[in-house]
Amino acid sequence: MDCGYYNKGLCRSCTVIEVPYARQVADKQRLVQELVAPHGDPQWLEPVTSREAGFRNKAKMVVAGSVGDPTLGILDQNGSGTDLRDCPLYPEPISVALDALAEFIARVRLLPYNVTKRRGEIKHVIVTGSPDGRLMVRFVLRSTQQLSKIQDNMSLLRELVPHADVVSVNIQPEHKAVIEGPEEIMLTEQTELVMTVNEIPLRVRPRSFFQTNTEVTSQLYRQVSEWVDRASPRTVWDVYCGVGGFALHVAGPSREVTGTEISDDAVASARDTAAALGLPESGPGSVRFIVDDAAAVPSGPAPDLAIVNPPRRGLDAGLCEWLETSGVSTVVYSSCNAKTLARDLGRMPSLEPIEARLLDMFPHTGHYEVAVLLKRRR
């Protein structure tokens, strides 16, 4: 992929963009295979590749520059704004929205936050796009001082960004490298963006996590669903369930699925999707979601199958110990960090990697997703 920003030295976020894409994938495949190899010899399925451009469903842009002439992008080493609105990673609906949002910020005279002087109000804009081109727009402000400028100009925002179904303001008052704060103020009646993946209308709220590559995510869900159907479990736990992607994909008429997640917003979204699909909360064919610390050791009888999708730090040692001793016959582990995956496999020697697949969520970087099917050794 050719990128003018990279060629001019303005942005180096895509660290391996100069490496041909096929070699990027091969390098990632080699890395994850080497890390998993000491713990078993799974069958490696064909890697899932991504489009090289236009694949990211979320843009997190630093707002800098001046009143009337903002930049949307990143900060350089001097703390000045570098505008990246035409970054080729984003699909057209997001790129068009970024241009419109820059115009909106200029016209309503929002004051960009100056990191060096620690003055100003608007810090970031975050835009998420659904597969059908609908948008969620979030303004991150230092305080509520200029909130009314956005509230009073919602008609202009709707005119400039007509596909924005969800609009909110996040308040992040601290001077540190944290994109968002704890307070979210909704400005639209609709509070969830519908992300239809494999015909399942997943719902995403402003503070909910969702994978940034929707097309590859859909293949991840299909792969995990295939493994689960092959195992034919009666009970399934989806640990770190987020907005319910895995749990809702593996639901079945004779299956009971439980998802756990620490985020209230994510669980609320998952429950909304389950309700929209008409899924009961108990009994055969049920899917229920619980707000709980996914890293904690579960209580109650072990399920037939567990799905775990932890953050980069991997599973807590206690959860690994529980999986190792619980008697769960099948585990599906979806990881964004093969180093912590390998560490966790070492903590669970009774669970043998049977099949595995690399899914390239993040072209032009060293990041990836890898899914592994584990079976209890006999």
What residues are labeled active site?
A: 336
**Cα–Cα distances in angstroms (integers) from residue 138 to residues 102, 120, 169, in the given order:** 13, 17, 6
Query: If we measure between CA atoms, which residue out of 175, 157, 174 comes closest to residue 166?
Result: 157
Spatial separation of the C-alpha atoms in residues 99 and 371, rounded to whole Å: 37
Spatial separation of the C-alpha atoms in residues 165 and 167, rounded to whole Å: 7
Spatial separation of the C-alpha atoms in residues 333 and 64, rounded to whole Å: 40
- Terminal Cα-to-Cα distance of the chain (whole angstroms): 47
Query: If we measure between CA atoms, which residue out of 3, 24, 22, 1 comes closest to residue 12?
Result: 3
Contacting residues for 252 by C-beta, under 8 A, at least 6 apart = 229, 285
- What is the number of residues in the chain? 378
**Cα–Cα distances in angstroms (integers) from residue 324 to residues 37, 101, 350, in the given order:** 19, 50, 6
Helix (H) or strand (E) holding 154: helix 154-160
Spatial separation of the C-alpha atoms in residues 290 and 288, rounded to whole Å: 7
Return the amino acid letter for 179.
Answer: I
Query: Helix or strand or coil: residue 365?
Result: coil
Radius of gyration of the chain (CA): 22
Query: Helix or strand or coil: residue 23?
Result: helix
